[in-house]
Amino acid sequence: MFPIDVESLRLFLHVLAATIWVGGQITLGALVPVLRRAGADIPRVAARQFGRLGWTAFAVLIATGVWNLASYDEKDRHGFAATISLKLVFVALSGIAALLHTHAKSRLWLALGGAAAAAFSLAALFLGVVLGQ
Ligand code: HEM
């Protein structure tokens, strides 16, 4: 059995939060057509409920991300600074786009904000995996 230590817990919490933040957005997006058929207001009610879990996961991502950064032992590896910087830009953009999405007044901005939040989250996820290699 491989050793289970604090590092396992740190990465487990980071990846769990990433599955909720990224996977939750994609799943909710896929459910919108059927939610809309259930009632005009249902997508908004479901999205607000997801928001409670989603923003908690985002906060856990930031907290465990800082912990990851503090524990990262390859900071002097060539390309680390560029990779983590680009990842943090995508993390910030995913949060800002999700916030604009939750406050959007028109269907167009709702769709654009939601698509942008998911796209930036996927980019942060990908760079996370690159950092973990
Ligand atoms: C949308 C937000 C984020 C997503 C989806 C995300 C996703 C991931 C994923 C999937 C990994 C790979 C874990 C592994 O290899 O087992 C990872 C690693 C990492 N993440 Fe994030 N992350 C996010 C936010 C952050 C933030 C805000 C920071 C820093 C403040 C951060 C810093 C790191 C570091 C340093 C690693 C490498 C950990 C290691 O290999 O020891 N992440 N991230």
Ligand 1 in reach of 28 Cβ (< 6 A): no
Q: Is the pLDDT of residue 12 over 90?
A: yes
pLDDT digits (tens, 9 = 90+) for 34-52: 999 999 999 999 999 999 9
Pocket test for ligand 1, best of 87, 89, 93, 129 (most atoms within 8 A of CB): 87
pTM value is: 0.91
The DSSP letter of residue 52 is H
Q: Is the pLDDT of residue 125 over 80?
A: yes
Compute, in degrees rounded to 10, the torsion defined by CA atoms 97, 99, 101, 105: -130
The DSSP letter of residue 19 is I
Nearest atom, ligand 1, residue 61 CA: 24
Ligand 1 in reach of 86 Cβ (< 6 A): no
Delimit the domains of the chain by residue range: 6-132
Q: Is the pLDDT of residue 76 over 90?
A: no
Ligand 1 in reach of 119 Cβ (< 6 A): no
Nearest atom, ligand 1, residue 69 CA: 35
* Ligand 1: residue whose CA is nearest its atom 21: 128
Q: What is the DSSP string of 62-108?
A: HHHHHHHHHH-S-TTSTTHHHHHHHHHHHHHHHHHHHHHHHT--SHH
> Which strand (E) or helix (H) includes residue 42?
helix 42-71
* Ligand 1: residue whose CA is nearest its atom 31: 65
Distance CA 117, CA 77 (A): 30
* Ligand 1: residue whose CA is nearest its atom 29: 65
Q: Is the pLDDT of residue 9 over 90?
A: yes
For residue 66 the two structure tokens come to: 């800082």
